[in-house]
Amino acid sequence: MIAMITGAAVLVAALLVGTVLFFLPGGTDDEAGDGKPGPDSSEDGGGQPGERDRGVDPDPARGVRLPVPEGWEPSEDLDGIAVNSGEYTCPGGDGKRCVRGSSLVIEATTQGDLAEVAKRDIRENAVRSYSTETFGGITSHSVVTSGRTKIAGEVGYRVRWKIENKLNPDAYVESVAFPHPDGSGQILVVRSSIDLHADSPPLSDLSRLIAGLREGDGGPSGGGSDDGGSREAV
């Protein structure tokens, strides 16, 4: 298992340990415009200091394959279901390592229709990917995209936020809820984030990740490419 890296997607290398969460305003709605975090926003988003934990919740999704866009790498410690890009020193001043972009497929942590799941998950995604300890707290957010999208041959629901952090960089976070393509009825979520920084992957890579995700049996991560110039993380 590779060493954990934290940060910007406090490297999706970790599956979110801990239970302390805060929620940005607006309930389950993906309201337009900026919102200020509530009074509990000083609480950490749930990860252990210095890592995004391989922990108790949520469970990683199995039976699907994420593409690996050019410039990204599979995250080996999550059996290839996460990809990440652009390692750097986190802004918190403690020497921890972050990444400029990350994406992870998980089992949905809430119930409801796809829109409800995505709108709830984006809040958890934001506070876990950009924790108060490392990024100083999320000071505001705005909804960039909210609506249905095609993923893995299914109709899913995508929500994308632009967030402002107390400590730079600001970022985009995205949650896409969709039914497992195996027909089981299980809802999966793709959680992604990209820093607003010159060294970050292009924002269009979020769409490449969604367009390239498909059902798979989890063989070794491999070469090969698709029209998007990516290889698979399996």
Q: Between residues 31 and 112, which one has the greater pLDDT?
A: 112
Q: Is residue 11 part of a domain?
A: no
Predicted pLDDT at 151: 95
Question: Could you tell me the pTM of the whole model?
Answer: 0.73
Q: Is residue 49 part of a domain?
A: no
pLDDT digits (tens, 9 = 90+) for 200-223: 999 999 999 999 998 875 422 333
Q: Between residues 167 and 229, which one has the greater pLDDT?
A: 167
Say how far apart CA 60 and CA 62 lie, in whole Å. Answer: 7
Q: Is residue 86 part of a domain?
A: yes
Q: Between residues 2 and 175, which one has the greater pLDDT?
A: 175
Flag whether pLDDT at 5 surpasses 70: no
Q: Between residues 146 and 74, which one has the greater pLDDT?
A: 146
Burial 68-92 (b: 16+ CB within 10 A, else e): bbeebbbbebbebbbbbbbebebbb
Helix (H) or strand (E) holding 60: none
Q: Between residues 134 and 35, which one has the greater pLDDT?
A: 134
The amino acid at 150: K
Residue 69 neighbours by CB under 8 Å, 6+ apart: 83, 85, 201, 205, 208, 209, 212, 228, 229, 230
Secondary structure class of 95 (helix, strand, coil): coil
What CATH number does the domain containing 119 carry? 3.40.1000
The amino acid at 228: G
Mean pLDDT of 50-78: 67
39: confidence class by pLDDT, cuts 50, 70, 90: very low
Predicted pLDDT at 58: 55
Mean pLDDT of the chain: 73
Closest to 72 (Cα-Cα) out of 62, 83, 59, 60: 83
Q: Is residue 176 part of a domain?
A: yes
Q: Is residue 46 part of a domain?
A: no
Q: Is residue 18 part of a domain?
A: no
Task: Give me the number of domains the chain comprises.
Answer: 1
Name the residue range of residue 194's domain. 64-233
Say how far apart CA 169 and CA 23 lie, in whole Å. Answer: 20
Say how far apart CA 69 and CA 207 lie, in whole Å. Answer: 10
Mean pLDDT of 140-155: 95
Secondary structure class of 82 (helix, strand, coil): strand
Query: HSE on the CB side for 18, CA within 13 Å?
Result: 19
